[in-house]
Amino acid sequence: MRWTLKPQPNSEIVYSLAKELNIDNTLAILLVQRGITNFEEAKKFFRPSLENLHDPYLMKDMDIAVQRIEKAISQNENILIYGDYDVDGTTAVSLMYSYLKTIYPNVATYIPDRYAEGYGVSYKGIDFAEDNDLSLIIALDCGIKAIDKVAYAKEKGIDFIICDHHKPGDEIPKAVAVLNPKRTDCKYPYKELCGCGVGFKLIQALASNKNQTIDDLTQYLDLVATAIAADIVPITGENRILAFWGLQIINTTPRNGIKALIYQLNKEELNITDVVFVIAPRINAAGRMKHGNYAVELLTEMDFDSAVASASAIEKFNSDRKELDKQITQEALLQIENNQEEEDFTTVVFNENWHKGVIGIVASRLTETYYRPTLVFTKSGDKLAASARSVKGFDVYNALDQCSEFIEQFGGHKYAAGLTLLPEQYQNFKNKFEEVVKNTIDVDLLTPEISIDAELSLMNITPKFYRIIKQMGPFGPQNMKPVFKTGAVRDNGFGKKVGADQSHLKLNILYGSDYKTYNAIGFGLGKKHSLVQNEFDICYNLDENIWNGYASLQLVLKDIQ
């Protein structure tokens, strides 16, 4: 692991902020790193307010979108809510459907089949709209590149409103309205909304025309927070406000579907990490293993007992997904061991029998193991489909763009993307992808980096210090949980490997002249047990360990040297 200390901010600004807020210098450093330099900015950060959300009408085409929906309602048209099969898409569809149903009855939902239709807007979905006399499609978390599909719908007299957050191409589809803060001609102040977030801005605009306030919309924020957490978008600006309040709803008055998932897991209070690793995979499992409709049905269910039944079906999909994921990861690792050259800059694997629903998870696992931009391919109809994952600092979407001559279709983000290509182009694509990455990646990026916020004396860790750290959440991209470094610590001699396979490390760390001890756990660090016989350096997060109802602070080790 590469340990890199983040640039330390101007000491005068740090000192001034620490004094103004009456906090420790280290905490002031963390805040300045996050762009907070005075009391007012700190107040906004620590007390996220729904009043600080931007006016939805600042988004280009918002007025046109609202007018078209209001026209559909006044003329008794049938409206189709269309969204992708992942968490962002299914939560966005559930959000839009739930809201519109409170004001209008003629609303239906459509989630494409991952295997029969693939990602995004499909011709089959448009045909479904035509067959069922649905004259307006609101597409969420997809559509920004659906130029031909929107034109096809137009020929059939079907209008499109697109709510997307993916990077637009050179041409924008000729829909009635295209809501996407990443449009170059969109002046919306916050660019990092997820698809469900863009959908929320649309219902915010619709609600304002009905004299509803933000308080009338908080019930939808459990869905928005789930999408923000699952889609790994920055937890800054509006996303942080929406995630903060969405978590409050999840923990107090969640909708029946989310309540049923929590009820089944027997968890009391969820944080953003729980949403990422516990709630999101279950919602995702529906589209991976069966169909995304199951997720929408769960998230829009009005009866709690029915929601519990749906949640247990989804739990079964999730355990099947885990089994498959484990099996395919082992097969992929074996393939890499047999075929990968040490000097390769990429990891590309293919097996026509791998389940398309889990190749994204497998790609993530391979990236963690080999730390290379990674592609996992399987057969999908008469084409090959792949999920791409990247390493921190490398834009895999741009790399794929440079290989576009061999690709049929692709889309995604900097760190995660999907693509399809013809089988005969596989080898050409693989060679080109390796060449592009080799020529453009900084070789340092092929070694995992731990980015350290600040050096810290363990004696500065007090209950107040931790309480303020906790209030900096919810954590996520661009507002990660702070990582600290402390040098020259010792173990008290009782450090040991723990866990069923002895893969974790449990230490009692001695520090300072009074030899106070600090509990520490290092997940996956069992192999470094030999390093703790003498003095060593640690980098870590702070966390609370709750055991038998008693909470104590612990260091969660990320690495030791």
Average pLDDT of the segment spanning 44-59 = 96
Interval 396-411: pLDDT, tens: 999 999 999 999 988 8
Average pLDDT of the segment spanning 421-449 = 95
Q: What is the CA radius of gyration of the chain?
A: 25
At residue 247 the predicted structure's pLDDT band, cuts being 50, 70 and 90, is very high
pLDDT at residue 493 above 90? no
Cα(250)–Cα(245) distance, integer angstroms: 9
Contact present, 121 and 139 (Cβ < 8 Å): yes
Average pLDDT of the segment spanning 504-530 = 89
At residue 342 the predicted structure's pLDDT band, cuts being 50, 70 and 90, is confident
Pairing of strands 516-522, 504-511: antiparallel
- Among 83, 329, 79, smallest CA distance to 195 is for 83
**Could you confirm whether domain 340-446 is CATH 3.10.310.30?**
yes
Walk across the sheet containing 134-140 and list its strands: 107-110, 78-83, 134-140, 159-163, 177-179
Single-letter amino acid code for the residue at 235: I
Out of 1.10.10.10, 2.160.10.10, 3.30.43.10, 2.40.50.460, the CATH code matching 450-561 is 2.40.50.460
Interval 99-110: pLDDT, tens: 999 999 999 999
pLDDT of res. 199:
98
Q: Which helix (H) or strand (E) holds 542?
A: strand 536-547
Mean of the per-residue pLDDT values of the chain: 94
Range list for CATH 3.90.1640.30 in the chain: 59-315
Encoded tokens for 453: 């916020």
Residue 510 phi/psi, 5° resolution?
-95, 140
Residue in the block written with tokens 């997904």: 321
pLDDT at residue 467 above 80? yes
Cα(222)–Cα(474) distance, integer angstroms: 14
pLDDT of res. 415:
87
The Cβ of residue 554 has, within 10 Å, a number of other Cβ atoms equal to 18
Question: What sign for the dihedral angle of Cα 429, 430, 432, 438?
Answer: positive
Count of alpha carbons within 13 Å of 482, Cβ hemisphere only? Answer: 25
Range list for CATH 2.40.50.460 in the chain: 450-561
Give CA torsion, residues 156, 158, 161, 166, to 10 deg. -30
Out of 1.10.260.40, 3.90.1640.30, 3.30.930.10, 2.40.50.100, the CATH code matching 59-315 is 3.90.1640.30
Cα(218)–Cα(299) distance, integer angstroms: 16
Range list for CATH 3.10.310.30 in the chain: 340-446
Average pLDDT of the segment spanning 349-365 = 94
Interval 79-105: pLDDT, tens: 999 999 999 999 999 999 999 999 999
Residue 74 phi/psi, 5° resolution?
-65, -30
pLDDT at residue 156 above 80? yes
pLDDT of res. 148:
96
- Among 427, 343, 438, 417, smallest CA distance to 375 is for 417
Interval 270-315: pLDDT, tens: 999 999 999 999 999 998 888 999 999 999 999 999 999 999 999 9
Cα(89)–Cα(230) distance, integer angstroms: 11
Contact present, 391 and 371 (Cβ < 8 Å): yes
pLDDT of res. 265:
79
Average pLDDT of the segment spanning 376-380 = 94
In degrees, to the nearest 5, what angle opens at C-alpha 463 toward C-alphas 459 and 464?
A: 100
Cα(316)–Cα(182) distance, integer angstroms: 37
- Among 101, 100, 99, 110, smallest CA distance to 139 is for 110
Contact present, 397 and 363 (Cβ < 8 Å): no
